[in-house]
């Protein structure tokens, strides 16, 4: 470096050795170079001017110092120019290595992406109010459609309580009362209990069926019933019924029951539950046996009827089919059923639905029938022919229905000397075991008699179970119209509960007869009371017409 500075110092006296300002990279450096170059020039001229002033004013020491400073400045300037040149080369290499074009493209892509995101955000903000409205309206509905695991709740069984048991039975009775009232009113309409009401109902129904208004009529009746229920709920006293309601005495609930009363209550409830379940089982078993061709002659009628209905529904237009069905139902309900109830023999011969239903056996009847058939088999051929020619002893056969009504000593109507049309009601086909207490008789043999009690359409029959020869003459037959009073009776007042007897008063006895020791006392009492009320109602309805 010292040698280079010496070379620069040697060339410093010549003006053309300095760098041209145009060749300088920066203008500021060029300006600095010009100022630096001009200053040494002026400093060089000063000694000459001084020399021109006189030879004695020239100083060699001062001239050496000026040259030394100028050479140092030139060295520094050359070093700065070289460093600048090196830095420019490094900058150019760095630009080539960093690939600025790709960086600019990526930067442009990011800028475009940012613009798209801003556009989406703006669109979302614009639809924010609409989405909020949708959420407020349909969020609850959407939550309802969300699938969730089913919650299994285990119901705890309540402990047995006499009070709770009594309350549940009363609730069941109150809940079933509207159904029973509706059924009773329909039966009264079909039986023409009130002639004017049934006639008006028949005319209105047939007019609606003739014009095809059957379904609108039933809907209007339902709306009318709901409107009446609303008025009743608001406090109005509206009571409309074809048959007057029979008010039953309500027993006040007892808080403290003795052990015997609780036991009797459990027995009564068990008896009612047994009877209810038995009726339900009979209905279900009849339907099952009817559909399973247990008695082919009955199921065949149903099968043919279904085929006729199917062909009619395919060939006839629905309007005509509905008209035919409506007219048939009206005539069947108001006229044909009334004739069949008034003439039981016609019903047993020509009422197909009644024949199918009454003759459909239950599983219990099938079991009893099979056991009786096995017990009646006789190994000899002659006895078999006699059995095939005549009905077995003790069995009364309904020729048209194919049913047998048996007693211990022969056909039912022969034992009690009744017409053949008198047969036990379905509720008491096997009778109720009981004992007859005739308080008009003083001898023990006539005072109490064990036997079976039956109810027919017009009579109350008691068959004595004694095996003596003259016992058939002691059977008791009571006409239902001759009954003056019928009540539940408790033979021994010291026993718990409401008793197990029925008291019946007739004009021929001074004291009411009592049928005691009856396990199914409530069922028998309801059946006798219902049949008695039906006979009295039909008799009172026939008398004004005659």
The residue-averaged pLDDT of 432-449 equals: 73
Q: Grade residue 251 by pLDDT with cuts at 50, 70 and 90.
A: low
Q: Which of 43-57, 68-82, 403-417 has the lowest mean pLDDT?
A: 43-57
Tell me what pLDDT residue 446 has: 62
- Residue located via tokens 């059995």: 387
In a domain, 125, yes or no: yes
Widest CA span of the chain, in angstroms? 198
Q: Grade residue 124 by pLDDT with cuts at 50, 70 and 90.
A: confident
Same domain, 444 and 495: yes
Cβ–Cβ < 8 Å for 251, 244: no
Q: What is the CATH number of the domain that holds 510?
A: 2.30.29.30
The residue-averaged pLDDT of 151-160 equals: 72
With a cut of 80, say whether residue 477 has pLDDT above it.
yes
Q: What is the mean pLDDT of the chain?
A: 76
Same domain, 214 and 332: yes
With a cut of 90, say whether residue 283 has pLDDT above it.
yes
Same domain, 138 and 218: no
Q: Grade residue 400 by pLDDT with cuts at 50, 70 and 90.
A: very low
In a domain, 36, yes or no: no
Same domain, 136 and 192: no
In a domain, 32, yes or no: no
Q: Grade residue 454 by pLDDT with cuts at 50, 70 and 90.
A: very high
Q: Which of 265-279, 321-335, 441-455 has the highest mean pLDDT?
A: 321-335
Tell me what pLDDT residue 238 has: 81
Same domain, 137 and 203: no
Cβ–Cβ < 8 Å for 464, 474: yes
Cα separation, 538 vs 329, in Å, equals: 23
Domain count, the chain: 3
Same domain, 196 and 84: no
Same domain, 137 and 186: no
Q: 60 or 472: which carries more pLDDT confidence?
A: 60
pTM of the full structure: 0.49
CB-based contacts of 459-466 (< 8 A; 24+ apart in sequence): 459/416, 459/418, 459/422, 460/504, 460/528, 461/416, 461/418, 462/436, 462/515, 463/407, 463/408, 463/415, 463/416, 463/431, 464/436, 465/408
Q: Which domain holds residue 214?
A: 180-238+266-359
Instruction: Give the number of other CB atoms < 10 A from CB of residue 253.
Output: 10
Cα separation, 404 vs 392, in Å, equals: 10
Cβ–Cβ < 8 Å for 528, 536: no
The residue-averaged pLDDT of 67-79 equals: 86
In a domain, 369, yes or no: no
Q: Measuring CA to CA, which residue among 425, 445, 427, 428 is closest to residue 436?
A: 445
Q: Measuring CA to CA, which residue among 428, 441, 429, 406 is closest to residue 523?
A: 428
* Chain-centroid distance, C-alpha 262: 37
- Going by the DSSP 8-state scheme, the letter that residue 248 receives in this structure is P
In a domain, 304, yes or no: yes
Tell me what pLDDT residue 203 has: 95
Same domain, 140 and 186: no
Q: Grade residue 450 by pLDDT with cuts at 50, 70 and 90.
A: confident
Same domain, 139 and 187: no
The residue-averaged pLDDT of 250-264 equals: 63
Same domain, 232 and 330: yes
Same domain, 212 and 345: yes
Same domain, 127 and 195: no
Cα separation, 505 vs 482, in Å, equals: 9
For the chain, the first-to-last Cα distance in angstroms comes to: 160
In a domain, 249, yes or no: no
* Strands 485-489, 501-505: pairing kind: antiparallel
Of 359, 379, 400, which one is at a domain's C-terminal end? 359
Cα separation, 64 vs 45, in Å, equals: 14
Three-state SS for 441?
A: coil
In a domain, 19, yes or no: no
In a domain, 399, yes or no: no
Of 359, 394, 425, which one is at a domain's C-terminal end? 359
Q: Grade residue 35 by pLDDT with cuts at 50, 70 and 90.
A: very low
With a cut of 80, say whether residue 17 has pLDDT above it.
no
């Amino acid at each position: 470096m010292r040698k280079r500075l010496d070379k620069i110092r040697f060339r410093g006296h010549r003006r053309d050795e300095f760098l041209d300002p145009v060749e300088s990279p920066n203008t500021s450096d060029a300006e600095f170079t010009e100022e630096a170059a001009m200053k040494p020039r002026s400093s060089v001229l000063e000694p000459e001017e001084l020399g021109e002033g006189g030879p004695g004013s020239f100083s060699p020491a001062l001239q050496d110092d000026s040259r030394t400073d100028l050479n140092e400045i030139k060295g520094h300037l050359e070093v700065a120019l070289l460093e600048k040149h090196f830095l420019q080369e490094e900058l150019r290499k760095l630009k080539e290595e960093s690939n600025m074009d790709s960086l600019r493209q990526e930067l442009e892509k990011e800028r475009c992406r940012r613009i798209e995101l801003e556009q989406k955000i703006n669109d979302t903000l614009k639809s924010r109010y609409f989405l909020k409205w949708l959420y407020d309206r349909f969020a609850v509905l959407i939550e309802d459609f969300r699938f969730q695991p089913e919650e299994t709740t285990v119901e705890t069984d309540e402990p047995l309580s006499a009070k709770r048991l009594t309350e549940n039975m009363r609730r069941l009775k109150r809940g079933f009362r509207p159904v029973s009232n509706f059924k009773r009113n329909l039966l009264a309409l079909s039986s023409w209990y009130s002639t004017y009401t049934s006639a008006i109902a028949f005319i209105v129904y047939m007019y609606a069926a003739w014009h095809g208004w059957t379904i609108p009529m039933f809907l209007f009746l339902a709306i009318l019933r709901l409107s009446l229920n609303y008025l009743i709920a608001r406090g109005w006293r509206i009571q409309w019924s074809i048959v007057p309601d029979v008010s039953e005495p309500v027993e006040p609930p007892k808080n403290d029951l003795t052990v015997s009363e609780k036991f009797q209550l459990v027995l009564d409830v068990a008896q009612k539950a047994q009877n209810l379940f038995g009726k339900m089982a009979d209905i279900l078993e009849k339907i099952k046996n009817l559909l399973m061709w247990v008695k082919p002659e009955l199921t065949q009628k149903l099968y043919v009827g279904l085929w006729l209905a199917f062909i009619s529904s395919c060939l006839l237009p629905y309007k005509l089919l509905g008209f035919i069905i409506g007219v048939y139902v009206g005539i069947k309900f108001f006229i044909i059923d009334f004739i069949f109830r008034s003439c039981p023999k016609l019903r047993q011969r020509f009422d197909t639905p009644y024949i199918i239903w009454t003759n459909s056996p239950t599983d219990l009847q099938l079991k009893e029938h099979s056991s009786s058939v096995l017990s009646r088999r006789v190994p000899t051929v002659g006895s078999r022919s006699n059995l095939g020619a005549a009905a077995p002893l003790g069995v009364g056969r309904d020729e048209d229905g194919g049913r047998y009504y048996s007693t211990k000593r022969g056909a039912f109507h022969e034992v009690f000397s009744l017409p053949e049309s008198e047969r036990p009601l379905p509720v008491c086909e096997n009778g109720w075991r009981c004992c007859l207490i005739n308080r008009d008789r003083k001898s023990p043999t006539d005072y109490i008699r064990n036997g079976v009690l039956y109810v027919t359409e017009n009579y109350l029959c008691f068959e004595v179970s004694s095996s003596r020869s003259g016992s058939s003459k002691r059977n008791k037959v009571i006409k239902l119209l001759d009954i003056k009073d019928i009540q539940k009776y408790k033979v021994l007042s010291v026993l718990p509960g409401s008793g197990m007897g029925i008291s019946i008063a007739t004009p021929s006895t001074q004291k009411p007869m009592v049928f005691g020791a009856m396990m199914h006392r409530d069922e028998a009492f309801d059946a006798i009371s219902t049949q008695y009320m039906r006979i009295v109602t039909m008799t009172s309805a026939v008398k004004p017409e005659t």
